[in-house]
Structure 1
Amino acid sequence: MTDSLITDAATIEHWPTWTTDLFIATQPIHELIKAPVLHAIHAHRRQAQTAIASEVAVTAKHGLFESELDYLDGANADLQTLKQVLTDLVLDCATSVNQAHWPDDAEPQAEIIESWYHLTENGGYHDAHSHPNCSWCGIYCLEPGESNIETRNGVNRFYDPRHNAAHYMDAGTAYLDNHGFWDVAPVAGQVVIFPSYLKHSALPYFGQQQRVVLAFNAQVHLF
């Protein structure tokens, strides 16, 4: 849908093109599931043989442990419950921005196709990247540790996908927001859901307590 601006000279049609939707939700059963999920994560970590078990983009990660990419697919009942909750959140978000483009009788279904956790130690970070082979991604914060938005300690940074949008700034480009990024501080129970093309990073984290997040990739199909 477009808006029209009527001036003395002409009627001008406004097309608000190429927006990027990002969602921040609260995991509804976080307080019930946090302890058993953290217990399962730490037990899994003690049995791991390598720091980046996923073997993906090893050089982009430092000072953290990353599990295999099928962590929520195990038989653990708490993890299965969590997977369903996160799947439902993805579906709600995807539906909110896509429903007008779907057939009236469409039955959408979301599926988490990859999932993994990060245990970040003092000085750890994950360099900028995006996620292929999915439409939506999520980061669920189980334990923020000493992350802090004021010092940018351990925050998740999302980068402006409009390449060169800020290559020249004056009063006519003020609407673009020339920061070039959005920072989201991890909060216990928070789930950030974002489109897969959106580049993001976990800035360096400093603290004695581990920063623990669980991430996932999802696809959405119509039936």
Structure 2
Amino acid sequence: MIGNHWSVPIASHIYDDATEVNSVLSRVFQAMKAADSLLEEKSEQSFPKRFYASDDQLLRRIDLPEFTKLVQFFADSIQKTVSTVNAGVWPPGKMSLQLEIMGCWFQIQNGMAFHDVHTHGNCSWSGVYYVQVDDTIGRVNHADMGEANGVTRFYGPYSQWQAGAHMDIGNAYLQKNSLDIYPEEGKLILFPSFLPHMAMPYIGEKDRIIVSFNAQIHSAQGDRIYGFDSK
């Protein structure tokens, strides 16, 4: 018998109200970027024009019904995802989940800007939601980038050990150590926060705009399923 263990779940959810909400948020985010850029200029600090990341306090900075609806979609999607992947692991009976979004921010990129490989801390799950991006045909037809244009690329958790490892046909199942998620307006990707990932270089007619967030999920019954003690 052969068992596969320690697989990495990545979930995809589609937001039904994306067309209405995204158009509002894209305008709001561009206005916030312009305002923040003016402040940076006054403080004589340089600011990359092709890549912009807000602070992670959007839950405090934005009071709009469209954004509230989007955050509720995030919460519902997280609950569905974590309940599914933890089926058979959580103790029997109904779990009382307590979701806390530890940070929420947006990013705008174009002109071949990218966000290098990184992971997220102080959370168990993270998400990226695509607010605006060129349609698939326009995006993949870029002469230099092709299908990789603006994708979110995930790397297998064993990648850090692969550079010095022996590779032959026997471990071919490990040798494709990346996964590209194509950006589509209204798509939400949820992933374990430890998973290395990056936003690949993007160039398009429209700016690539995303909302990202980190989440902790606790239970009123306690989080120590296996009785581990930190003392």
Q: TM-score range by the shorter chain?
A: 0.7 to 0.9
Q: Structure 1 pair 62/154, CA: closer, same or farther in 2 (3 Å)? A: farther
Instruction: State yes or no: 1:91 paired with 2:79.
Output: yes
User: Map of 1:131-150 to 2, 5 A cutoff?
Assistant: 131-145=120-134, 147-148=139-140, 150=146
2:31 equivalent among 32, 35, 43 = 43
Matched, 1:66 2:63: no
- Quick one: distance in 2 between partners of 1:81 and 1:37? 12
Residue pair 2:119, 2:196 contacting (<8 A) in 1 also: yes
Is residue 112 of structure 1 aligned with residue 113 of structure 2? no
Give the CA deviation at 1:150: 3.8
Higher relative contact order (CA 8 A, sep 6+): 2
- Specify which structure has the higher proportion of strand: 1
- Provide the C-alpha distance between the structure 2 equivalents of 1:147 and 1:84, rounded to a whole number of angstroms: 29
Unaligned runs of 5+ in 1: 6-13, 52-58
Alignment RMSD: 2.3
Name the counterpart of 2:152: 156
1:184 aligns to 2:172 (yes or no): no
Question: Residue 16 of structure 1 aligns with which residue?
Answer: 4
Per the TM alignment, residue 108 of structure 1 is displaced from its structure 2 partner at its CA by 1.7
Does the 8 A contact of 2:139 with 2:146 survive in 1? no
State the SS of the aligned residue for 1:132: coil
The counterpart of 1:198, out of the listed 195, 206, 209, is 195
CA distance in 1, matches of 2:49, 2:24: 27
CA distance in 2, matches of 1:34, 1:189: 8
- What letter matches 1:113 in structure 2? M
1:71 shift after superposition:
1.1
Unaligned runs of 5+ in 2: 42-46, 221-231
Alignment partners' CA distance in 1, 2:215 and 2:112? 29
Indicate the SS of the match to 1:69.
coil
1:144, distance to aligned residue in structure 2 (A):
1.5
> Relative to 1, partners in 2 of residues 1:164 and 1:114: Cα closer, same or farther, differing over 3 Å?
same
**Percentage identity across paired residues of the two chains:** 28
Match of 1:221 in 2: 218
- Tell me how many residue pairs correspond in the alignment: 203
Distance 1:105 1:192 in 2: 26
2: CA distance, partners of 1:63 / 1:100: 45
Cα distance in structure 1, aligned partners of 2:198 and 2:65: 30
- So what's the TM-score if we normalise by structure 1? 0.82
**1:31 equivalent in alignment to 2:19:** yes
**Counterpart amino acid of residue 89 in structure 1:** S
